[in-house]
Amino acid sequence: MQRENEVQHVFLVGAKSLGAYGGYETFVYKLTEYHQNKKNIKYHVACKANGDGYMDETKVDGATRINDHEFEFHNAHCFKIDIPQIGPAQAIYYDVAALKACCKYIKEHRIKHPIVYIMACRIGPFAGHFYKEIHKLGGTVYLNPDGHEWMRAKWSAPIQKYWKISEQMMVKYCDLAICDSVNIEKYIHECYDGKGIKGRNPKTTFIAYGADLTLSKLADDDEKLVNWYKEKGLTKKDYYLVVGRFVPENSFEVMIREFMKSKSKKNFAIITNVNDKFLNELEEKLHFKSDKRIKFVGTVYDQELLKKIRENAYAYFHGHTVGGTNPSLIEALGSTDMNLLVDVGFNKEVAEDCALYWSRKPGSLAKLIDKADQMSTDEITEMGRRAKKRVAEEYTWDKICGQYEEVFTK
C-alpha cells in the first residue's frame, strides 16, 4: 500500500456529472476512466445532487454508492452538492459550494499538496479567497478557462459583463491555466499578460480534448439500431445529424432555417435535450414543424448506439460558436465521414482541411448542403479518412490523458 503522501490528490470542480453531453462531463468521465488503475493519482469529483444535468449514480454501471452524497466511480471519490434553484446564479453557487467542500475534505484528511482544478471562469469574485485558502492548505489552483463564456447568447448584457470580469479574476488567481485550444491560450496572453498577481503573466499550457476512435460495436442490423431508426423514421446514410446542447450559441436556428431552404431530400436529425421555451421561439420564427425533414429525435445516452448513429449519418453539422476544442466536434471527425462546420477559429484549428465550412450569413449553409448532396462517395470517403487521421494524431484520449498525468504529477 502506498503512503498517502505519495499519491497526488486532484480535485475536479465544474462538471455537473460524469459522462453527460457537456464537454467537461465527457472530459471528467474519460480522465477518471483512463487513470482508474493509476496508483499515483487519486481524483475527487464534484457533481450536482439536483437541478439541471444532476448526477444520478444509480444509472451508471460500475458506480459504488457510499452514502446519499458520495459514491466511487472509476476509483474516483465523487461527492454531490445540493443546489438551491436560484436561476443563473446556480452555477456560481455550485462552484463555490464545491470548493468549500474540497477545502473541508483536504483539511479533514490532511492531504498534502492537493491540486484543485477548476473548470470554467464562473466564480471570479471568490477566486482570490479560494486561491489563498488552497495555498494555505499547501495546494495549487489550476484553471480551465473554457472558451469565451461571456459571449454566450443566453446571457443578458449585465451577466455577460460579469463573466468577462470573472474570467479576468480567475486567470489572475490561478497557478496554471490549462487551455484546450491554441486560440484560447493566445487570447489569454493577449488579454491578461501583465495582469496577474504582482503583475506577472499567467502561466499557461495547451492540452486538447480527446475522442474515442474505436468503431461502434453495433452491426447495421442490430435490433437496437433498427428499432431506433424505425421509430424515428430514419435510414442509414440518408440523414444529416447534429448532437449537442440545445442552446442558441450552437446555431440551431441557422441550421434549421438553412436546411429548410436547401433542396435536400434527406432528413435532418437533431439529437438534443429539448428546452421547450427555445423550441417554441424557433417554431414561431421558422415554422419548422411544417417541414417533415426536420426531426427532433430526443436524447441518446447509450454510447454505442450514439456512435453508430454518428457513423451512419450522411453528414454532421457543427454549429458551436463559443468554447475551445469542442468534444462533439472531435467525436464527429472521428466517426462521421463528412462534416459541415461553422466557420470560427476554434473549429478550423481542430478540423483544418478535413471538413467543409459555412458562415452564419443567410444562404451560406443552404448552398453548402446542396453541394454536399452532390458529392461522390469517393470524395466523402476521402474526407472521412483525412478527418480520422487528424484525430488519431492529435486528439486521442490516450494522448490527452497522458498529458494530464504529466501536468498533475510532475
> Does residue 217 belong to any structural domain of this protein?
no
Indicate whether 241 and 127 sit together in one domain.
no
Is the pLDDT at 4 greater than 60? The verdict is no
Say yes or no: 191 and 270 in one domain: no
318 within some domain: yes
**Domain for residue 284, yes or no?**
yes
Q: Is residue 215 part of a domain?
A: no
CATH classification of the domain holding 361:
3.40.50.2000
Whole-angstrom distance, CA of residue 120 vs CA of residue 24? 9
Residues 204 and 254 in one domain: no
Phi-psi region of 363 (alpha: psi -120 to 50; beta: other; left: phi over 0): left
Q: Which residue has the higher pLDDT, 336 or 146?
A: 336
Q: How far is CA 304 from CA 121, 270, 301, 307, 310, in A?
A: 33, 18, 9, 5, 10
Same domain for 176 and 296, yes or no, is no
270 and 169 part of one domain: no
Please indicate, yes or no, if residue 216 is contained in any of the structural domains.
Answer: no
Same domain, 184 and 287: no
Instruction: State whether 45 and 175 are in the same domain.
Output: yes
The verdict on residue 218 lying in a domain is no
- C-alpha span between 22 and 350 (Å, rounded): 18
Can you read off the three cell numbers belonging to residue 117? 482544478
Statement to judge: residues 250 and 303 lie in one domain: yes
Please state the rounded mean pLDDT for residues 153-174.
Answer: 86
**Whether residue 177 is found in the same domain as residue 302:** no
pLDDT at 147: 65
Domain count along the chain: 2
Instruction: Inform me whether the pLDDT recorded for 274 exceeds 90.
Output: no
135 vs 129: CA distance, rounded Å: 10
Identify whether residues 347 and 401 lie together within a single domain: no
The reply to whether 401 and 385 lie within a common domain is: no
Q: Yes or no: say if 124 and 168 are a contact pair by the CB < 8 Å rule.
A: yes
- What is the pTM for the complete model shown? 0.78
**Residue range 229-243, pLDDT digits in tens:** 999 999 999 999 999
Q: Looking at the structure, do residues 192 and 261 belong to the same domain, yes or no? A: no
Confidence band for 3, pLDDT divided at 50, 70 and 90: very low
Residue 173, in any domain of the structure: yes
Q: What is the pLDDT of residue 154?
A: 65
Give the residue numbers spanning the domain of 333.
223-394
CA dist 228 and 309 (Å) reads: 9
Residue 280 within any structural domain of the chain: yes
